[in-house]
Amino acid sequence: MGRKIDGGGVPISGGQALNAYKVLRDSLYETYGTRIRTKDHPLMKLIGGLLFFNKRFLTNFITTVYPHVYYPVADKKMFELLDAKTLTDEEKLKAIGGHYKSIDPEKYKEWGDLEALGTAKVRGCILVLAHEGVHLADAASHGNVLFSLLYLSPQILSTLSLMSILSIWFSPWWLASLVFLLNLTPGIPSRHRSRFEMRGYGINLLGLHVVHGLPLKNIAPIQITVKNFLSANYYYMAGAEWYNNAIGEMSGKHTSPKEMVEEHFSEVMTCLKMENALDHDEFDLLLDALEKTK
C-alpha cells in the first residue's frame, strides 16, 4: 500500500533538492541499472527521425528506453554540475541557474536569483526522475519488450504494412497489408500508453505538492496533463471517450475532458488511485528521498 502523503505548502530547499536527486539517481541505478544520458545518443536520433509527428522530441522531451533516461542535450551541463565533487551546493545551484539563463535569456529574464533558478531546475529534475521511474518499474514488471509493444500500440501495428513489399514477388493480395497504415490515423486512442502515462503523471501531480509545495488542487499542472493526453505530444493517445471514463463519469455530466478535470479534481485523484499511481513504489521512493534530506 502507498504511504500517507505529507508535506506541501512549502517547497523543499536547494540543498534538499540536491540530496533528493542523488538518492533517486542512485536508487534507480541500483534497482534498474539506470544511467542518465542525453539525446545526442545515436538511438535517440533514430527515434527522433521516426517520430515525425513530434518535432520537439529531441529538444523538449525526456525519454526512457529501459533502463536509461535520456534528456535533451541542453540539460547535459546540469548533470555535469550535479556530479561535480569540487563545488558546494550553493555553487552548483548558481552554476545551474546561470547555465539555463545563458542558453535562453528571454525565457528566464525574470529570474534574477541564479540560485533560485538552479533550485527550481533541480526540483523539476526530481519530478522527472520519479515520473520516468514509474515507466522503468512498469517495464520491469511487464518485461521490456511487452511494455514497449503496449506503449507503442496501436501505432506500431502500422509497421505490418511493410509486408506489402512482398507483392512485388508474390501475390498482389499482400497489398492488403497497407490497411495497417490506418493505425497512424490521429485520434485512434492508445489505451495502454494512456494508462502508463496516467501512472507517470499521477506521480507528477503529487510530486508538485511534495517537492514544489503547490496545493493539490492547483489547476495549471492538471491542464498541462490534459494537454499531453489529448495532443500530438503523445500522438493523441487518449480519445475523449476514454479520458472521460478514466477521469470519472461518475458525476453524470457530459463535459469535455478539460472541463471535467477542472471541475472534478477528486475524481482525477480517484482515477489515479485506481490506476495504482498513488500506491506506486516509485512515489514511495520519492518520499524516501525527500525524508533523507531532512
Query: What is the per-residue pLDDT for 185?
Result: 79
Q: Please say if the pLDDT value at position 279 is more than 50.
A: no
Inside any domain, residue 114: yes
Judge whether 129 lies within some domain.
Answer: yes
Q: Could you read off the pLDDT of 26-83 as tens digits, one per residue?
A: 888 988 899 999 998 888 888 877 776 677 888 888 888 889 999 998 999 999 999 9
Q: Residue with C-alpha cell 531532512?
A: 294
Q: Is residue 38 part of a domain?
A: yes
* The pLDDT of residue 129 is above 80: yes
- In a domain, residue 185? The reply is no
Mean pLDDT for 8-29 is 82
Q: What is the pLDDT of residue 267?
A: 39
More confident residue, 215 or 91: 91
In this prediction, residue 294 carries a pLDDT of 42
pLDDT of residue 48: 79
Cα end-to-end span (Å), the chain: 24
CA distances from 185 to 157, 164, 182, 189, 191 (A): 12, 19, 5, 10, 15
The residue range of the domain holding 85 is 14-153+190-291
Write out pLDDT tens, residues 147-184.
989 988 888 888 899 899 988 898 889 899 988 888 88
Look at residue 3 and tell me if it is in a domain. no
Counted domains in the chain? 1
Residue 96 pLDDT greater than 90, yes or no? yes
Please give the average per-residue pLDDT across 216-226, as a whole number.
59
Note whether residue 173 is domain-resident.
Answer: no
Q: How far apart are CA 190 and CA 192, in angstroms?
A: 6
Q: Does some domain include residue 246?
A: yes
Q: Measure the CA–CA gap between 167 and 174, rounded to whole angstroms.
A: 5
Alpha carbon distance 216, 259 (integer Å): 17
Lowest mean pLDDT: which of 20-24, 53-57, 186-190, 215-219? 215-219
| Number of residues in the chain | 294
Least confident of 92-106, 195-209, 213-227: 213-227
**Which of 69-83, 125-139, 224-238 comes out lowest in average pLDDT?**
224-238
195 or 171, which is more confident: 171
Q: Is residue 160 part of a domain?
A: no
State residue 133's pLDDT score.
85
Helices (H), 87-143: 89-103, 114-142
Radius of gyration of the chain (CA): 21
